[in-house]
Structure 1
Amino acid sequence: MRADKLNFKRNLLLIIIFLILLSVSLIVALGLGHNLIKKYVESEFYSLKIDVLEETMEPYETFFQQAIPEVSYYQGYLDSLSASNYADSVLEKYPFVDHMIFYDSYISDRGITHGITIRNLGIGIKNIYRFGRNLPPDSTVIYQRKKPGELSLKNSDEFNNIGLKVASFIESADTTKNFSNETIFKVFYNITSNRISYLNVPRREEIALFQDLMNSKTEKAPEYEMDLFSFELNPYKLRIANKHQNIYQKTTIRELSYDPILEHTNILQTSIPLSGAFSDYKLYFSTDKNYLQGEVNRRFLPLAFGVFFIYFIIIFITFLIYRNFSISRKLFKLQYDFVNNLTHEFKTPVSVIKIAGNNIKSAQKLSLEEQRHYGKILDEEADKLNDLMNKLLSFTQIENKTIKVKQEEINPEIFSQNIIDGYQLKYPDYEIELDIKKNVKTFLSDPVLLTSIYQNLIENAYKYSKPGTKYLKITISRSRKNIVFSFKDKGIGISPAEMDNIFKKFYRIESEYNQQGSIGLGLAFCKELINLMKGDITVKSKEKTGSEFKVELPYIKK
Structure 2
Amino acid sequence: MTAPKKHVYRTNFTLITAFLVLITVTLVIAIFVSYKLTAKYVENEFTSKKIEVQEQTIKPYNDFFQIKIPEITSYNGFLDSASAANYASTVFKSYPFVRKVLFYDIQIGKPVSQVVADQGIFVKAVYRYKPKHGKVFGQKDMSVANDDDFKQMALKLHNFINVADTTRLPSQDEIFRTFYNVNPDKISYLNIPRREDIKIYRAVLKNRKSQNFGKQNMLTFSLDPHFLKVNNTHPELYQDVTIQPVVYDPLDVEKEKIITEVALPGAFSNFKLYFSSERSHLNREIDKRYLPIGAVLFLIYFFLVLISYLIYRNLNVNLKIFKLQYDFINNFTHEFKTPVSVIKIAGSNLRGDGELSERQRKHYGKILDEEADKLNELMNKLLSFTQLENRSIRIKREEIDIQHFVKGYIDTFKIKYPDFNLKYIMDNVSTFYSDPVLLGSVFQNLMENAYKYSHPGKKELLISIKQDKRNIVFSFADKGIGMDKSEQGDVFKKFYRIENQYNQNGSVGLGLAFCKELMNFMNGSITVNSRPNEGSTFIVTLPLES
TM range (shorter): 0.7 to 0.9
Structure 2 counterparts to residues 51-450 of structure 1, below 5 A = 51-72=52-73, 74-108=75-109, 110=111, 113-117=114-118, 121-134=119-132, 139-143=137-141, 151-152=142-143, 155-156=144-145, 159-164=147-152, 166-167=154-155, 170=158, 175=163, 185=176, 188-200=179-191, 205=199, 212=206, 219=209, 223-259=213-249, 265-401=255-391, 402-412=393-403, 414-428=404-418, 430-450=419-439
Following superposition, the deviation at residue 381 of structure 1 comes to 1.0
Given candidates 493, 496, 513, the residue that maps to 1:507 is 496
| Superposed CA offset, 1:23-47 (max 9, x none) | 3322332232223212211221121
| Contact 1:196 1:277 survives alignment (8 Å) | yes
| Contact 1:170 1:210 survives alignment (8 Å) | no
- Aligned partners of 2:283, 2:442: CA distance in 1, in Å? 70
Change in CA separation of 1:162 and 1:110 when aligned onto 2, cut-off 3 Å:
closer
Instruction: Compare 85-94 and 462-471 and name the one that shifted more.
Output: 85-94
| Contact 2:420 2:451 survives alignment (8 Å) | no
Instruction: Compare 515-524 and 174-183 and name the one that shifted more.
Output: 174-183
| Contact 1:112 1:124 survives alignment (8 Å) | no
| Contact 1:175 1:208 survives alignment (8 Å) | no
| Contact 1:4 1:332 survives alignment (8 Å) | no
SS in structure 2 at match of 1:321? helix
Instruction: Compare 330-339 and 42-51 and name the one that shifted more.
Output: 330-339
RMSD: 3.4
SS in structure 2 at match of 1:512? coil
Instruction: Compare 255-264 and 430-439 and name the one that shifted more.
Output: 255-264
Residue of structure 2 equivalent to 1:470? 459
Change in CA separation of 1:200 and 1:62 when aligned onto 2, cut-off 3 Å:
same
| Contact 1:171 1:211 survives alignment (8 Å) | no
Change in CA separation of 1:122 and 1:497 when aligned onto 2, cut-off 3 Å:
same
- Aligned partners of 1:509, 1:253: CA distance in 2, in Å? 84
- Aligned partners of 2:273, 2:176: CA distance in 1, in Å? 26
| Contact 2:459 2:480 survives alignment (8 Å) | yes
Change in CA separation of 1:78 and 1:423 when aligned onto 2, cut-off 3 Å:
same
Residue of structure 2 equivalent to 1:455? 444
| Contact 1:407 1:444 survives alignment (8 Å) | yes
Change in CA separation of 1:300 and 1:405 when aligned onto 2, cut-off 3 Å:
farther
Residue of structure 2 equivalent to 1:49? 50
- Aligned partners of 1:501, 1:86: CA distance in 2, in Å? 93
| Superposed CA offset, 1:115-141 (max 9, x none) | 355xxx454321122334447999423
| Superposed CA offset, 1:479-536 (max 9, x none) | 4443333222332221233222100011112233222132110011112222333332
SS in structure 1 at match of 2:58? helix
SS in structure 2 at match of 1:529? helix
Query: 1:124 corresponds to which letter in structure 2?
Result: F
- Aligned partners of 1:136, 1:514: CA distance in 2, in Å? 103
Following superposition, the deviation at residue 51 of structure 1 comes to 1.4
Query: 1:125 corresponds to which letter in structure 2?
Result: V
Residue of structure 2 equivalent to 1:148? none
Residue 483 (str. 1) matches residue 472 (str. 2): yes
Following superposition, the deviation at residue 266 of structure 1 comes to 4.3
- Aligned partners of 2:343, 2:279: CA distance in 1, in Å? 91
Change in CA separation of 1:316 and 1:485 when aligned onto 2, cut-off 3 Å:
same
SS in structure 2 at match of 1:425? helix
Following superposition, the deviation at residue 81 of structure 1 comes to 4.3
SS in structure 2 at match of 1:242? coil
Change in CA separation of 1:403 and 1:326 when aligned onto 2, cut-off 3 Å:
farther
Instruction: Compare 312-321 and 52-61 and name the one that shifted more.
Output: 312-321
- Aligned partners of 1:465, 1:277: CA distance in 2, in Å? 104
Following superposition, the deviation at residue 235 of structure 1 comes to 1.7
SS in structure 2 at match of 1:99? strand
SS in structure 2 at match of 1:326? helix
Change in CA separation of 1:532 and 1:432 when aligned onto 2, cut-off 3 Å:
farther
- Aligned partners of 1:488, 1:419: CA distance in 2, in Å? 16
Tell me the number of residue pairs that the alignment of Structure 1 and Structure 2 aligns: 538
| Contact 1:461 1:489 survives alignment (8 Å) | yes
SS in structure 1 at match of 2:59? helix
Following superposition, the deviation at residue 174 of structure 1 comes to 6.9
- Aligned partners of 1:293, 1:166: CA distance in 2, in Å? 57
- Aligned partners of 2:315, 2:342: CA distance in 1, in Å? 40
Given candidates 478, 481, 495, the residue that maps to 2:484 is 495
Residue 37 (str. 1) matches residue 20 (str. 2): no
Instruction: Compare 522-531 and 201-210 and name the one that shifted more.
Output: 201-210
Following superposition, the deviation at residue 93 of structure 1 comes to 4.2
Change in CA separation of 1:517 and 1:21 when aligned onto 2, cut-off 3 Å:
same
Following superposition, the deviation at residue 188 of structure 1 comes to 4.5
Query: 1:393 corresponds to which letter in structure 2?
Result: L
Residue of structure 2 equivalent to 1:146? none
Instruction: Compare 38-47 and 485-494 and name the one that shifted more.
Output: 485-494
- Aligned partners of 1:308, 1:37: CA distance in 2, in Å? 16
| Contact 1:406 1:446 survives alignment (8 Å) | yes
Instruction: Compare 475-484 and 514-523 and name the one that shifted more.
Output: 475-484
Following superposition, the deviation at residue 459 of structure 1 comes to 1.5
Query: 2:15 corresponds to which letter in structure 1?
Result: L
Q: What's the TM-score, normalizing by structure 2?
A: 0.86
Residue 546 (str. 1) matches residue 535 (str. 2): yes
- Aligned partners of 1:176, 1:391: CA distance in 2, in Å? 114
Q: Give unmatched runs, 5+ long, in structure 2.
A: none
Change in CA separation of 1:206 and 1:294 when aligned onto 2, cut-off 3 Å:
farther
Instruction: Compare 127-136 and 380-389 and name the one that shifted more.
Output: 127-136
| Contact 1:530 1:536 survives alignment (8 Å) | yes
Instruction: Compare 194-203 and 226-235 and name the one that shifted more.
Output: 194-203
Following superposition, the deviation at residue 341 of structure 1 comes to 1.9
Query: 1:106 corresponds to which letter in structure 2?
Result: Q
- Aligned partners of 1:540, 1:100: CA distance in 2, in Å? 97
Query: 1:58 corresponds to which letter in structure 2?
Result: K
| Contact 1:170 1:207 survives alignment (8 Å) | no
- Aligned partners of 1:495, 1:367: CA distance in 2, in Å? 51
Query: 1:128 corresponds to which letter in structure 2?
Result: V
Given candidates 518, 522, 526, the residue that maps to 2:511 is 522
| Superposed CA offset, 1:226-247 (max 9, x none) | 3220112232332333332332
Instruction: Compare 495-504 and 82-91 and name the one that shifted more.
Output: 82-91
- Aligned partners of 2:473, 2:136: CA distance in 1, in Å? 110
| Contact 2:483 2:531 survives alignment (8 Å) | yes
Following superposition, the deviation at residue 262 of structure 1 comes to 6.5
Q: Give unmatched runs, 5+ long, in structure 1.
A: 144-150
- Aligned partners of 1:337, 1:6: CA distance in 2, in Å? 19
Q: What's the TM-score, normalizing by structure 1?
A: 0.85
Residue of structure 1 equivalent to 2:16? 15
SS in structure 1 at match of 2:104? strand
Query: 1:24 corresponds to which letter in structure 2?
Result: V
Change in CA separation of 1:248 and 1:210 when aligned onto 2, cut-off 3 Å:
farther
